[in-house]
Amino acid sequence: MSEQKYESKVCSIPCDAHTVYSVLGNLSNLERVKDLIPKDKVQELEISEDAIRMKVDGLGQKFTIRIVDRIEDDTLKFGFDNLPIQLNFWIQLKQVSELDTRIRLTLKADIPFMFRMMLEKKLQTGLDQAAEMLTKFPYSNWK
């Protein structure tokens, strides 16, 4: 297996980087939108400030996403526990003007070669959709 890197498109958030970082860096803010998560896909959801624990349809076991590193107003790095493959994920922020912060999501995954071709397009699409979704949060209202 070899580690593959996937990056989302760069998207623009109409807010300053500090506010975006403050909201995304506290995972308990997901409590505000957890009703939007399909209950048939995600069960046993537990949310804390630094971690999310859940069971996802098709995986059969609970896994954890946790913040492993923070660079204030710049980067949030996440690790995954209890998954069959090694994953790392990070959110990068770059403020380009007072009300324009660019966001890019990056995923590094150790995917077996025989599954890589099946998953690459889905991973890329998922990252792009997640980046787009993160541009729609009402960051200024969640401070």
Q: 1 falls in which pLDDT band (50, 70, 90)?
A: low
Cα-Cα end-to-end distance for the chain: 42
User: Which residues touch 111 (CB under 8 Å, ≥6 apart)?
Assistant: 1, 4, 85, 119
Residue 26 is encoded by which pair of tokens? 């506290």
Domain 2-142 has CATH 3.20.20.140: no
pLDDT tens per residue across span 110-137: 888 888 888 888 889 999 999 999 999 8
pLDDT tens per residue across span 9-46: 999 999 999 999 999 999 999 888 888 788 888 889 99
Delimit the domains of the chain by residue range.
2-142
Question: pTM for the full model?
Answer: 0.89
Q: What mean pLDDT is predicted for residues 57-62? A: 80
